[in-house]
Chain A
Amino acid sequence: MSASPLSTTPAEGLSSAHFATHLSRSAALPAWWLDAKKAAWNQFTALPLPSRTDETWRFSDLKGLDLTGFGLPEAAPQATPKHAAFPQSAELVFANGQATRGPVPADLAGRGVIFAPLEEALREHGDLVRSYFQKHPANLGSEKFVALNTALTATGAFLYVPADVEVALPFVVQHTLTGQNVAAFPHTLVVLGPRAKATLVEFFVSGGAASERQLVSGVNDLHAAEGAQLTYVGAQHWSRQTLAFQVNSIAAGRDARVLSLNLHLGGRQARHESHSRLLGPGAHSEMLALTVADGDREFDQRTLQTHVAPHTTSNLLYKNALLDTAKTIFSGLIIVEPDAQKTDAYQKNRNLMLSDEAEAHSLPGLEIQANDVKCSHGSTSARIDAEQEFYLQARGIAPAAARRLLVTAFFEEVLNKLENEDVHAALTALIASRFQA
């Protein structure tokens, strides 16, 4: 399978011809949506690629941001979900954008729960989608790629859980991308009404050879209204040659609790941005990320915790395991706005160095405009030395298993924050699969 053979401009790869084709396929969708897409396409073409002088791209490999040659994928054969063999509420599988969906149980549907492919939601619940789509964009440097997502997105899930509905079992989405030089633009939109509770787990995987070159620009908007409890898990295991952007935005209302965990295993260069806004008193955002950086991959993570309302809390813990000559960048900022008294905000980046040649950059930051707050940030790097490795080997544990043991132990603190044991186990298994000798 390969990219559709449309002409490409040398600078961008994805051309206005691609966009025109995409737009004609979307013709049946609401006019506001098509207008938003046109505006986004214009923004994408107008915005320059990140440059050396962009503070938000400090330490990133800018040469790696090469968009040439990519095209939209042709439909792929149905993908079989392979990572979510656990009890779930409902499942959506996208294979090169082609959706296959399991039914939403009648009792949930009866209470107003919507779990549908984005395009279906646009047709059937257009106004609902419109009032939340990119309502609180994260602006942490990837505006160009977010615009590209809006312009070309046709896939992704819309999850809506109305007020007072608590859903115990997770909703599951799997995106599979197959083909050389193909691009995908998944967009996830989650809206939890007041006091609603739900978990969404997304798996992003490449379906073909590990060497397939792919481009992904994904966005998700997570909205938790007053007293809502949202758990979002995004696990990516893209091919070794994928250039991936993932931009999360989290909006937490009064007394809402949002836990987001992003697991990064794949990609050649993977950029992840996450912005939490604590909008109502008592709101809490738990921002978690786990990364296995091996080979010569680059994982580039930028975060922002914005405390808008008083008595809000946020807790960020990003853990990177670095091997070989991999590179990670963590740049995090906490902003406490003038009204946000009694804020508790924490930010920690912890790196486990399993190689002397790996590189971990950490750029923590604080910007406090209120006077009665508790904030802390920090980064640590722990090194596994040759003696420790020899000790494990001397007990008969092979090098790959030893690394898996060390990395799993390091990640456990984060995985333990997941309430759902099945999801915890699925992520552990996915991580372990990265260490097969």
Chain B
Amino acid sequence: MAFPTFVPPASTTTGQPSAHNDSEIVLQTQALTKVFGSRTAVDHLNLAVRRGEVFGFLGPNGAGKTTTIRMALGLITPTSGSVEILGQNVWQQRDRVLSQVGALIETPALHLYMSGRDNLQAVASILGTADARRIDEVLGLVDLSDRQRDRVSTYSLGMKQRLGVAVALLDDPQVLILDEPANGLDPAGIVEMRDLLRRLATQGKTIVISSHVLSEVQQICTRVAIINHGKLVTTSTIDDLTRGQGYFVIHVEDATRAFAAIKSQPWGREATLEPNLTIHTAAPDGRGRDLVSFLVGVGCVPDQVAYEQVQLEEVFLRLTSTPGAANGGA
């Protein structure tokens, strides 16, 4: 993995918004490592998240996502390595850096004995942003306006999760780090959360999401990093991860003959003939056009050729199923 050795411009070190710059790195970890006893939870992790990205941070259970996020937020001390946010070291400039970062870590952390509104009020006074209008605004954003006076102990998990996001959004931070934001949300809630994150992204906010719901990530993330056993497996755009990994579904009259012809080709060795007499195959150099002309050439004019996009899930499982494959770190 190659990472740009990008030095953020001086203007970002003051925390002032700089002109929108696609390549400006907002969050960067360098050889970040955390060892708990004899277990290495995060192992020389290098990540770089650019301004305005919705960055997916993926990995199986216990991969080290939460540990990484906790280090990025200054909650646990890295064993070695460093985290920079907005060009500043998190451990040296905690207050300046982290006041620009809204976060949700695992389960929503709320005062159950207080109302939803009071929870926001408490955080607002701590952050020095006590402003009733902003509290109304974020309550509206997460659709909790009509339950704001109820004690949080009476909320459903999804409502707590949304209130957790509201807390993270309270003072309009530039960077949002959300650990499993879809946790406990029903399908409608997931769609709403996705819309909310999309809108925030269009505002130029940088969003890091760790998630297990890969279809979610696939729909909103511009790039993803996949980690396993604390090590980076890959960083890539979703397109790059899934491109060329799909397959073509062919409906053709003489399926058996077409299948035999495809099977005889080097690119078609993995082809399968499905029970419904459709053929699933790769194409020469991944190009559908060449597949069609090949079929026409062997006299099997297809009725239909469709491309099936591979799901992120499949790529993810392939990349993380063998421990030995986890070797993409620095």
Q: Do A and B come from one complex?
A: no
Chain B residues in the interface with A (C-beta under 8 A): none
